[in-house]
Amino acid sequence: MSDIEKLVDTAESGTGVSRRAILQFFGIVGASTALGSAVTACAGPQSSGTTSGGGGSGTGGKLSIVLNRNLVSLDNKLNQYDAAVTVQRAVREALTRIGSDLKPQLVLAEKFELTSPTVWTVKLRGDIQYSDKSPVTVEDVETALKLYFQVKAGYVASQFPEQPTFAKVDDKTFTLTTKKPVVTLDSLMSNILITPANANKAEELREGIGSGPFTVASADSGTGTYRLVRNDNYWGEKALLDEVNVSYQEEEGARVIAITSGQADVIDTITPESATALKKKNDIELVQEPGTRLIHLFYNFRKPAGHPLTNPKVREALSYAVDHESLISSLMNGLVSSAEGVVPKTLSGFAKTGGYTFDPAKAKSMLAAEGVSNLKLTFIWEEAEFAGAARVMEALVGMLGDVGVKVTLKEIPKGGDINTWRRGEAGDWDVLGNGYGNQTGLAITNLQGQYAGTAAKEKTRDTYHGFVFPDVTTLLDQASSEPDAGKRDALLKQAQDKIWALWPAMWAWTPDNVLAKRKRVTTLELSPTNSYELSKVKVSG
């Protein structure tokens, strides 16, 4: 029986487990695994007379969700890790959303149409309102869009090729105009959450109302604890649950104990060892779907001239030191797939550009040919950025050591200053272990956000870690403006080939979306974007 299975059995027996025991467990694990066009589907919520019933009828009741990261805000201007989307969009909605087929669907918009090559015409639904019964207005949308572009290092804004110009037509209609065609604007706007204009700010909001099926009854962003209740003034189909309690727990062992003991109904971000243990529990189910999240060991492209990492041949050489197959089988239990390009293959517009190969002899030979010896690298990552992060990083120390590279590890605490490190303002580093979520289903979203850097953006440190290559940016700008899907994909293929040749990452992979739920939780449909519609979840007891 594994250590985590012992913890699971201890939890089920009702025996208390201390924080010290959990930390000791992780110490054991760490030591033992340090081995080597128009939106065509009008699928927005419809009016309904659904009412709350007893738990046995599948409506009403309470749900407890334990996340692995602190949900510091129900806003997404700066950060949007995948699991947070479920909670954020239960409170605040956008004009569109991305469905399980990774295509845009209408929500607050009644119409979202490309009426000329550079103009989208949008009409709001006539029945939408906030939880206080005030109407959602054109001015609210205008303010929201403007403020997303005003925040420093905005995550969502970086995915837009340019900021659309907003023009009001009437009380329900407006246009979004761009200098060049942006044919994916209906998908991109799914990430712009709408809140009343007079309460919105150019920052992550810690309070305020939304138009979603739940309202916030209480919140403590410091501890990541929220209590959501059904919005009985919701303009669409009412939520089936009465209440949702959201919290977070850093240690995975504690999250596993929470679900096996019945204190939690749903937990996310599960390591392979936990998944194996939980599969054996009769009252727990694992939900697993191919994901759209890219995780990579990304190089720092802000290194000074002459530094070894400015040489693409050195970056390529280091990739041959990574035994990714062993990492996948030993530490990830086959729940991830090694990247075959620079974005996840689940995305529309993905182009296969190559694969990662483990060949330490080639790594040594290439480094020697480039005159590189005694190379020292610093790896940084944020705690819980991906499942089993610390163990993966520890294994990489040995792998790089085998080719003569010394690695120093620096873990940034969750809720710490990872953004200042990423911007190069907190200190120097060489490789970042980082996840990049995708909420549009489109490869162009990742490509634009990560690889379309410009000199102007780099002046404000708003590029993706200094990645600025004008020929790549030009191709991506052309692709984002191309209305013909075939021609657009051809441009994206050219861009992805050029990016791959630059070796931006030492290794990259895409994890499956995996969460665990108690069997009393039904109708939870996990999408490829690692989120689900909270309003449609039922509990049976």
Q: Name the burial class of residue 432, with classes exposed (0-12), middle (13-18) and buried (19+) by CB atoms within 10 angstroms of its CB.
A: buried
**Does 32 have pLDDT greater than 50?**
no
Q: State in Å, rounded, how far the first CA of the chain is from the last one.
A: 31
Torsion of CA 438, 444, 450, 451, to 10 degrees: 160
Question: Both 346 and 274 in a single domain?
Answer: no
Question: Do residues 259 and 366 both lie within one domain?
Answer: no
Residue 42 covered by a domain: no
**DSSP helix/strand/coil, 17:** coil
531 in the same domain as 459: no
pLDDT one-digit tens code per residue, 262-319? 999 999 888 778 888 999 999 999 998 888 999 999 999 999 999 999 999 999 999 9
* Domain-located, residue 438: yes
What is the number of structural domains in the chain? Answer: 2
Domain membership flag for residue 327: yes
Do 412 and 310 lie in one domain? The reply is: yes
Same domain, 267 and 301: no
Beta carbons within 10 angstroms of residue 282's beta carbon:
6
Residue 428 backbone phi and psi in degrees, to 5 = -85, 150
Residues 518, 504 within the same domain: no
Alpha-carbon separation of residue 113 from 119, 144, 283, 332 (angstroms):
9, 20, 46, 43
Q: Does residue 461 share a domain with residue 313?
A: yes
Which residues partner with 515 through β-bridges? Answer: 268, 287
Instruction: Give yes or no for a contact between 271 and 388, defined as CB atoms under 8 angstroms apart.
Output: yes
Residue 225 and residue 313 in one domain:
no
Residues 362 and 388 in one domain: yes
Say if residue 487 is in the same domain as residue 390.
Answer: yes
> Other C-beta atoms within 10 Å of 303: how many?
17
Domain of residue 380, CATH code? 3.10.105.10
What is the per-residue pLDDT for 83?
A: 77
Q: What is the mean pLDDT of the chain?
A: 87
pLDDT exceeds 80 at position 415? no
What pLDDT is stored for residue 13 in this prediction? 47
Q: In the predicted model, is pLDDT for residue 253 greater than 50?
A: yes
As a whole number of angstroms, the distance between CA 115 and CA 422 comes to 39
Counting every residue written for the chain, the total comes to 541
Domain assignment present for residue 20? The answer is no
Q: Is residue 140's pLDDT more than 90?
A: yes
State the pTM of this model: 0.75
CB of 494 within 8 A of CB of 475? yes
Q: Which tokens go with 445?
A: 């979203």
At 312, the amino acid letter reads: P
Burial class (CB in 10 A: 0-12, 13-18, 19+), 330: middle
Residue 447 inside a domain? The answer is yes
- Beta-carbon contacts of 469 under 8 Å, excluding residues fewer than 6 positions away, are 451, 453, 498, 499, 502
* Inside any domain, residue 14: no
Q: What is the pLDDT of residue 1?
A: 54
Could you tell me if 91 and 74 are in contact, meaning their C-beta atoms sit under 8 angstroms apart? yes
Q: Return the pLDDT at 497.
A: 98
CATH number (domain holding residue 248)? 3.40.190.10
Mean pLDDT to the nearest integer, 223-237: 95
Count how many Cα atoms sit within 13 Å of the Cα of residue 16 in the half-sphere of its side chain. Answer: 3
- Say whether both 236 and 347 belong to one domain: no
Max mean pLDDT among 152-166, 256-270, 495-509 falls in 495-509
pLDDT of residue 27: 36
**Whole-angstrom Cα Rg for the chain:** 23
The pLDDT value given to residue 414 = 74
Euclidean distance between CA atoms 447 and 347, whole angstroms: 11
Q: Is residue 51 part of a domain?
A: no
Q: Are residues 135 and 234 in the same domain?
A: yes
Domain encompassing residue 155: 62-290+514-536
Phi/psi of residue 274, nearest 5 degrees? -65, -40
At residue 37 the predicted structure's pLDDT band, cuts being 50, 70 and 90, is very low
In a domain, 17, yes or no: no
Q: How far apart are CA 231 and CA 212, in angstroms?
A: 7
Q: Are 187 and 440 in contact (CB under 8 A)?
A: yes
Q: Which of 536, 525, 519 is nearest to 288 (CA)?
A: 525
